[in-house]
């Protein structure tokens, strides 16, 4: 009796099926991971915003930078970029006042945001570079993706 192994055709079929399954699952896993990063950034910004508010209650003024504030989350967003803070009352911080698509300020007290996965941002949320940013708006009533706050 002759021993049988896999034929070349059978191996090609198995590899084809494996490639098809991989091609379908990799984008889904990537989207899932990206959604997790967005959720982490939203949670971090809410925590940092609360810490800034606590600092203001304790000292009577907003901090000039996040270095003055103590909080229990990373100072970098999930994509490795530093969270951006701008005190609108004193014009101190590492940014510019953020604006919605009709150029109204997002906040009246301070801006706090992540520059998102692309690492590029602009003051106006109408600019394509800002659409993936995670922003704090309406003085903290909204924290989330810029594209959800100010849809095009």
Question: What are the sequence ranges of the domains in the chain?
Answer: 8-149
Domain 8-149 has CATH 3.30.700: yes
Instruction: Provide the sign of the torsion angle of the four alpha carbons 120, 123, 129, 135, taken in this order.
Output: positive
Residue 92's pLDDT is 83
Residue 5's pLDDT is 77
Dig out the tokens for 10 from the structure. 């059978």
Cβ proximity of 92 and 74 under 8 Å: no
**Alpha-carbon distance values, 101 to 88, 121, 123, 150 (Å):** 19, 14, 10, 7
Residue 6's pLDDT is 81
Cβ proximity of 130 and 122 under 8 Å: yes
Q: What does pLDDT average to in each consecutive run of 10 residues of the chain (152 residues)?
A: 79 95 94 96 97 97 95 95 95 86 93 96 94 96 94 70
């Amino acid at each position: 009796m002759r021993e049988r192994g896999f034929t070349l055709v059978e191996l090609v079929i198995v590899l084809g099926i494996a490639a098809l399954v991989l091609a379908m699952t990799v984008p889904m896993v990537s989207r899932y991971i990206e959604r997790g990063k967005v959720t982490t950034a939203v949670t971090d910004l809410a925590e940092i915003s609360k810490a800034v508010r606590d600092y203001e209650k304790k000292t009577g003024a907003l901090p000039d930078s996040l270095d003055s504030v103590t909080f229990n989350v990373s100072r970098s967003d999930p994509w490795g970029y530093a969270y951006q803070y701008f005190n609108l009352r004193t014009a101190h911080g590492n940014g510019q006042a953020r604006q919605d698509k009709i150029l109204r300020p997002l906040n009246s007290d301070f801006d706090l945001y992540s520059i998102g996965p692309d690492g590029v941002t602009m003051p106006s949320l109408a600019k394509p570079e800002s659409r993936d940013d995670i922003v704090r708006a309406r003085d903290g009533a909204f924290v989330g993706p810029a594209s959800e706050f100010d849809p095009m």
